[in-house]
Amino acid sequence: AQSVTQLDSHVSVSEGTPVLLRCNYSSSYSPSLFWYVQHPNKGLQLLLKYTSAATLVKGINGFEAEFKKSETSFHLTKPSAHMSDAAEYFCVVSKWSNTDKLIFGTGTRLQVFP
């Protein structure tokens, strides 16, 4: 069965410092992996996706994630946090087809302090 585990429910960083949001996945086949962001009172927006192409995936707003099969991880990083990055971030896994379910992690709330 597929699952994702977001290792931190809350992460706090200072503006201008690096961001690391951790995600481990479990899947019996080659998964598709995603990161979504949800700003307060907004819908979810796709940040980036991994679908068995390059293992280092670049997304919007300067975020990137690296697929590491040996560690079953898909951590989200950004070199320098901005105040506007404060939001909830979801790590998501699915099979390869659009008819399959997305399995959402429990989310990590990112706070950015000035």
Mask for 22-41, x = binds another protein (CB under 8 A): ----------x-x-x-----
In the set 30, 45, 61, 111, which binds another protein (CB under 8 A)?
45
Mask for 68-107, x = binds another protein (CB under 8 A): ----------------------x---x-x-xx-xx-x-xx
- Which span sits near another protein by CB under 8 A: 15-23, 43-51, 64-72, 74-82? 43-51
User: Residue 89's Cα: distance from chain center in Å?
Assistant: 6
- Rounded CA-CA distance 14/105 in Å is 24
Identify which of residues 11 and 93 has a Cβ nearer to another protein in the complex.
93
Identify which of residues 105 and 112 has a Cβ nearer to another protein in the complex.
105
- Tell the burial category of 56 from Cβ atoms under 10 Å away from its Cβ (0-12, 13-18, 19+): exposed
| Nearest CA among 5, 42, 38 for reference residue 21 | 5
- Rounded CA-CA distance 94/68 in Å is 16
Strands 10-14 and 108-113: parallel
Helices (H), the chain: none
Please report, as ranges, the residues that interact with another protein according to CB under 8 A: 32, 34, 36, 42-46, 49, 51, 90, 94, 96, 98-99, 101-102, 104, 106-107
